[in-house]
Structure 1
Amino acid sequence: MNILIVTQYFFPENFKSNDMAFELQKRGHDVTVLTGIPNYPEGEIYDGYGFSKNRKQTINGVEVVRALLLPRGKGGGIKLFLNYFSWAFFASLKAIKLSSRKKFDAVIVHEPSPITQFYPALMVKKNQKTPVYFWVMDLWPESLEIAGGVKNKFVLKFFTKMVQKFYNESEKILITSKGFKKSILEKGDYENKIEYFPNWAEDTISAGNLDYPIPVLPAGFKVMFAGNIGEAQDMESIMHTALKLKNHHTNIKFILVGDGRKMPFVHEFIKEHGLEETVYTLGRFPVEAMASFFNAADILLVSLKDDPIFNLTVPAKVQAYMSSGKPIMAMLNGEGSENIKEADCGFAVPAGDSEKLAEALEYAAKRGENELNRMGLNGKLFYEKNYKMEECISNLENIISPK
């Protein structure tokens, strides 16, 4: 098949769109990716890229076309708005040009956020009547209202109408969490369009490549958080947990691998409360390093704020953590928490409950190595059964293949 993947984010940015494109290409499909100039998450354009550099590339056999955008900067509201809509506009122009020279059998929209990423796919559909498969990884306008703090009814109504239009234009709506179904069905009769299509872990994590050199980690019971350190991840509750454990459980060490908008808050909190001996911030590392980091941890921490939209979400790091064979400590609600309980691969406490998280970490730190290894193995087996990339992509091929 000739497949077009439309996504604002692509290699060298680290998103599932990379795995999808490269795996489909490896399986013999002709894959084109319409994407943006890489600038996530720092908000600055990556070295080697620019308005006139590497706008067209071939990566692992995949044709990559990069549309102009305004960089997201530090992620403030106006900057993000300009980033989202500038890419949607310029990518839509690129899509018209692309669809005039190449016939596509399927268009896949990879949408971690924003919803406006659908617009270029819509241009291709209008030109070629190509079916569009909408991989919804972030619910709008809920995300705009809860995570973005937008309360204006006219703005929310505008985006609700936009979402309904995109759902109407979709051949299938692929959801990463079964909890998304309720929100989607509230916007229209899309029951026959919805397909469950979960996240997976990168091969570099699930394959267990432990050769990447990482910093020496502190001695003690190592609680590792890896990934984006942003508003949704509820760093306030994690920091208050560290504060509760500071005096009586100094053997419990929090290790944060990653970066994001809340990192200045984390640094300030550590300094203000004297947590330098129990909380360590290591910064960002490439995905290739994650297997080595996970292997060095005793337990892996995942968290989301207690908000309705987050309660419907399964963070992608849950699958990554499971694939590593390490036990998980979760401070979240909803499907993500239920998955961990179902797999018996760790511990789950309510979102935002730093008291319960502190108690659970105390309990986990006293468990023997055999018990923790048993939970880690349970998670890996659950991952192998439900979230392997190969199985997910085979399912995707089945969904998009002409019937």
Structure 2
Amino acid sequence: MKVLIVSQYFWPESFRINELIQSLIKRGVDVDVLTGQPNYPEGVVFPGYRAGACQQEYWSGARIYRVPLAPRGSKSAIKLAFNYLSFVVSGLLIGPWMLRKNNYDVIFVYAPSPILQAIPAIFLGWLKRCGVIVWVQDLWPESLQATGYVRNPRILAAVAQVVRFIYRHSDLLLVQSEAFEARVAALAPGTRVVYYPNSVDSSFAVPSEMSLPDIPALKEGFCIVFAGNIGTGQAVEVIVEAAALLTEYADIRFVVLGHGSRWDWMREEVQVRGLSNVYLPGRYPVETMPGLMQKASALLVTLADQPIFAATVPSKVQAYMAAGKPILACLNGEGARLVSKAQAGLVSAAENAQALADSILCLYKMTDAERAQMGENGRRYFKEHFDQDILTDQLIDHFHAVSASSKGQE
């Protein structure tokens, strides 16, 4: 089985697709990757890469083909739009040339925003005469509107038509949340839609003995750890507000690991308010996160109070469950439902700082045994529903089915 994976985001950027590719290769799948120049999340191209370059390299047994990409920059909707469109254009014009000697059984698109990255994959599927599977991580155009990047109704309507084109020209659509199924199916008449959740590498459940960064804030007290992107969608304002409500509890501290478009705002707000219980040590390599999560008393996930985010399951929910720590879920919808169903932590409404502060105090006052039971509940639920080995086998089955179907239609 030879698979081309198309993803605007890939190693050395930290995304779920990295671990999935390693898992596929371990099962004997021959993997090529068509991607861009790494620049997420800071918006600056990583050292060793050039925005306008075409290059090939190897990583963990996968052949990587990188096309030119305009970096996303920082806090600029125009630069972000150019970033999205540059991958589409490079993928359409340069991707076929770089892959001209290669044939594939199936093309798989890892599709967080932007869904537009599926366009070159569909063209390549036509050229290579193979099926295309799109793994939908975000709902477009809803996510554009929810994050505030696009508000013009005409532009949103045009994007919806592009999304409809992508869905209709895919052979299989996988969705990361059960709540996505009906919404995606409404734009994809004739295309099969299947629930396929995110997972995480097994290291989150069994952290390695690797040396970890020295973060003094994690060494004492009741540490609430938020890990991941610090952006508009995460509504990190609620973290600052909850911290302000809990200043009298000297033992409770918030440790925010990560970076993103709202990191500077958080830092300034913490300084202005004089919040000594919030720590922003920055972003660390993804391989250190399992070990750092083990130092937490609880793990925090937040999302904005928007209908689109209520349908989304942040991939960190699976990571937190695997880590076996109690979860504080300040969000609505599917993510909250999973945490509650697994009895893996406490849930509060999205962007409700008082409710989040109350949940934190409730968890803080529990016994160690009660908190440990929540963590164990989450880990057990992860193994039953999100185990990476099981999900990788399911994905390979999808590859074979789509490949057989596309060959039968020739």
Give, in angstroms, the shift of residue 370 of structure 1. Answer: 0.5
Q: Secondary structure at the match of 1:72?
A: coil
Q: Secondary structure at the match of 2:89?
A: helix
Q: Secondary structure at the match of 2:239?
A: helix
The match for 2:61 is: 61
1:194 and 2:193 aligned: yes
Distance 2:152 2:52 in 1: 38
Q: Secondary structure at the match of 1:101?
A: coil
TM-score by length of 1: 0.96
Letter in 2 for 1:394: D
1:44 and 2:44 aligned: yes
The match for 1:384 is: 383
Check whether the contact 2:168–2:189 (CA below 8 A) recurs between aligned residues.
Answer: no
Check whether the contact 1:204–1:287 (CA below 8 A) recurs between aligned residues.
Answer: no
| Farther-moved stretch of structure 1 (354-363 vs 218-227) | 218-227
What does 1:102-251 correspond to in 2, within 5 Å?
102-190=102-190, 193-214=192-213, 215-216=215-216, 217-247=218-248, 249-251=249-251
Q: Secondary structure at the match of 2:94?
A: helix
The match for 1:321 is: 320
Cα–Cα, structure 1 residues 294 and 324, in superposed 2: closer, same or farther, change >3 Å?
Answer: same
Cα–Cα, structure 1 residues 376 and 87, in superposed 2: closer, same or farther, change >3 Å?
Answer: same
Distance 2:371 2:150 in 1: 42
Gaps of 5+ in 2: 405-410
The match for 2:407 is: none
Check whether the contact 1:36–1:66 (CA below 8 A) recurs between aligned residues.
Answer: yes
Q: Secondary structure at the match of 1:241?
A: helix
Letter in 1 for 2:354: E
Q: Secondary structure at the match of 1:63?
A: strand
Q: Secondary structure at the match of 2:50?
A: coil
TM-score by length of 2: 0.94
Check whether the contact 1:43–1:75 (CA below 8 A) recurs between aligned residues.
Answer: no
Q: Secondary structure at the match of 1:337?
A: helix
Gaps of 5+ in 1: none
Distance 1:56 1:173 in 2: 29
What does 1:25-44 correspond to in 2, within 5 Å?
25-44=25-44
Q: Secondary structure at the match of 1:361?
A: helix
Give, in angstroms, the shift of residue 138 of structure 1. Answer: 0.7
Give, in angstroms, the shift of residue 53 of structure 1. Answer: 6.5
Distance 1:93 1:206 in 2: 42
Check whether the contact 1:136–1:173 (CA below 8 A) recurs between aligned residues.
Answer: yes
Letter in 1 for 2:251: N
Distance 2:17 2:317 in 1: 18
Task: Give CA-to-partner distance per residue, 1:257-309, whole Å, 9 cap, x none.
Answer: 11111111111111111112x11111000111112211111000000011010
Give, in angstroms, the shift of residue 51 of structure 1. Answer: 4.6
Q: Secondary structure at the match of 2:9?
A: coil
Distance 1:237 1:62 in 2: 40
Distance 2:114 2:292 in 1: 30
The match for 2:70 is: 70
Task: Give CA-to-partner distance per residue, 1:346-386, whole Å, 9 cap, x none.
Answer: 10011111111111111110111011011101100110111
The match for 2:338 is: 339
Check whether the contact 1:210–1:295 (CA below 8 A) recurs between aligned residues.
Answer: no
Check whether the contact 1:212–1:288 (CA below 8 A) recurs between aligned residues.
Answer: no
Q: Secondary structure at the match of 1:174?
A: strand
The match for 1:19 is: 19
Give, in angstroms, the shift of residue 94 of structure 1. Answer: 2.8
Distance 2:95 2:291 in 1: 40
Q: Secondary structure at the match of 1:232?
A: helix
Distance 1:396 1:75 in 2: 36
Q: Secondary structure at the match of 2:293?
A: helix
The match for 1:370 is: 369
Give, in angstroms, the shift of residue 221 of structure 1. Answer: 1.0
Distance 1:134 1:245 in 2: 43
The match for 1:280 is: 279
Distance 2:212 2:61 in 1: 29
Q: Secondary structure at the match of 1:401?
A: helix
Distance 1:70 1:82 in 2: 6
Give, in angstroms, the shift of residue 148 of structure 1. Answer: 3.2
1:260 and 2:272 aligned: no
- Aligned positions, number: 400
Letter in 2 for 1:286: P
Distance 2:133 2:367 in 1: 46
Task: Tell me how large the CA RMSD over aligned residues is.
Answer: 1.5
Give, in angstroms, the shift of residue 75 of structure 1. Answer: 3.9
Cα–Cα, structure 1 residues 308 and 115, in superposed 2: closer, same or farther, change >3 Å?
Answer: same
Structure 1 residue ranges (4+ consecutive) displaced by more than 6 angstroms after TM superposition: none
The match for 2:92 is: 92
Q: Secondary structure at the match of 1:22?
A: helix
Cα–Cα, structure 1 residues 56 and 39, in superposed 2: closer, same or farther, change >3 Å?
Answer: same
Between the aligned residues of both structures, percent identity stands at: 36
